[in-house]
Structure 1
């Protein structure tokens, strides 16, 4: 059965617009935009997604739990776009918010939110290559005590209107659950699997070219890779490293086949020109034959090669 994805997105946005009309308190006002973000993200409209999340920053202190959730999403979007400095600033602003509430206003019970912010700060440090600081933040997040206050148990005291709001938001998201195995992040997973087969073949001095090629081709298709031609559409900022890695690995499988070497060299050239990781060259990321202190890690959360 043919599914019109654009039509489903339109239906989902309509449902969420109805959801916005039901908003009464600040928590609800924050929930609406964050649900819209999912739709915009799946359509690749990062600017609209970021704009919606930034609106949540204008909410008052009573909605601090929603603001932390929006910060998590904002940081993730900026990291996926390679905007590491902005992601760091967003995390710092959220940290300042929590510290201000606890110290100047004297409101406590933010252990869970504090742990979530530490996790946000940790992934920013990780992406920027500061492993020791990232480890400290992640350990701090694990050690924080859990909180049972209203900020983490909103659903326990839901009135009928809030139940309707939550159900409507859920329906809006379900309208676009048509990706299934076609979700772009499946392409990231397939890239990882292709590298596993590549590593296995190298260790065992065997060949799995057909398997690797099939995985790379499927991954590149799911990641919506632009044409290889010089005049083709430039790769989008998000997932560029993953695409470069997938095409770089695919190029290797082609270059060792004499009749496809020219195709492989063309793909390799594209991959090298689109690689943006400042701490690891594409050649280093692809060279897993020897143990090294610098090894590539594919993080599917932010679609980056770390």
Structure 2
């Protein structure tokens, strides 16, 4: 049951019309290039083991072709630009730079396939993306980090598709593949990759709704690393209410990702676990943490950067943009409740934009549940919008109908829809992970 009171979200929206219109207009404006705010120094030591492929380990011409393909595909994010980007990558896989069993060639082939799977993912071709990732398992002479990146991305895709059992099986395989390659206890690459594999299992436990079951998979030494493992660890710390440490981890992840991008080595990640997904996830997580602590200026800054990065990378109508917009809407909702002010028009605009992006497909069978991808995110957008409508006398019936739909598609195992809507009266904590479009 929704517990929002009219005193918290009053109808005093008229005074904020001007600022509201400006904010909503900014959501459809062409995003400016992302420029991350300089980050404060942290106590964490960053290293790229297991995250990057040194340029010397692959063929330079192959790296250039891969970078060109990715950049061209994202120029206007059209069918044609993605098609040409994929064509370049297909050509890369047919030339001598990626042929044979030589480790350098297999590394080149591996990162080309990672790039290809990423482009297929971005345009919604998940089955093809999975196929490209699975073909990387055969590259047994490639650097182990390439294969771990493929397994991690495969599990990440299954999580986003709601196929948690398949994701869990892939995570088990990832741990097994790494452990088979162990050489000695001082191998920094092995340490980084086993942490990454175990953190993947920890993330899956968080998705399943069991924070305590995730404990064994988050070794404290993750705080010395960057990348997806550290981001998942930060989410774990946040859910355990260790907010100061979680903030340090998020900041460290952003710093490490920025360094990787600056130095230009190929990042070993793909699909929703690629470098852009990592940076967007860290910004979004940081923004949600600042929201929970009531630091709304910092929250808006981080979430706006996440939104700009999502729009630049995926396009304004991509589901990732809808996920980030949901986090922004929840930030405005919580601020309005806490400060007893109104942001109804801003919230309505945000929720409607998310609903337009994350569409619900009505089923033909009467009484059947609707079919919807990213169902919990879509449910939050509809639930939040229903609250906005419910405080407007002439729209209450519309709000009640939307609320019922939201409750129908809500699937989270640990939280009710009310608890996930950042209710001030709830003792439970939740976080939206934009990498996998799930609520932890």
Residue 82 (structure 2) pairs with residue 5 (structure 1):
no
User: 1:78-227 maps to which residues of 2 (within 5 A)?
Assistant: 78-102=158-182, 109-142=189-222, 179-223=314-358, 225-226=359-360
Equivalence for 1:296: 430
Partner deviation per Cα, 1:35-61 (whole Å, 9 max, x = no partner): 111122112221211121111122215
Deviation, 1:244, is 0.9
* TM-score using structure 2 length: 0.56
How many residues were matched structurally? Answer: 276
Q: Map of 1:218-297 to 2, 5 A cutoff?
A: 218-223=353-358, 225-226=359-360, 234-237=370-373, 239-286=374-421, 288-292=423-427, 294-297=428-431
1:62/1:52 CA distance change after superposition, 3 Å:
closer
Q: Could you say if the C-alpha distance between residues 177 and 127 of structure 1 is closer, same or farther in structure 2, counting changes exceeding 3 Å?
A: same
The CA distance in 2 between the partners of 1:277 and 1:43, in whole Å, is 26
Deviation at residue 12 of structure 1 after TM alignment: 1.5
Q: Which runs of 5+ in 2 are unaligned?
A: 1-29, 31-75, 100-104, 227-259, 267-310
Deviations 1:82-113 (A, max 9, x none): 1112111111111111212227x999551221
* Residues in 2 aligned to 1:123 and 1:61: alpha-carbon distance in whole angstroms: 28
Provide the C-alpha distance between the structure 2 equivalents of 1:250 and 1:229, rounded to a whole number of angstroms: 22
What secondary structure, in the 3-state scheme, does the structure 2 residue paired with 1:70 have? helix
- Aligned equivalent of 1:28, options 108, 111, 117: 108
Is the Cα–Cα contact under 8 Å of residues 33 and 53 in structure 1 kept in the other structure?
Answer: yes
TM-score for the superposition, normalised by structure 1: 0.78
The unaligned stretches of length 5 or more in structure 1 are 147-152, 163-175
Between the aligned partners of 2:186 and 2:177, the Cα distance in structure 1 is 12
- Residues 4 and 211 of structure 1, relative CA distance in 2, 3 Å threshold: closer
> More displaced, 105-114 or 256-265?
105-114
Q: Considering only aligned residues, what root-mean-square deviation do their CA atoms show, in Å?
A: 3.3
Query: Could you say what secondary structure the match of 1:21 adopts?
Result: coil
Deviations 1:196-246 (A, max 9, x none): 2111222222222111101111222233x1367978995443x22111111
- Deviation of residue 136 (structure 1)? 4.1
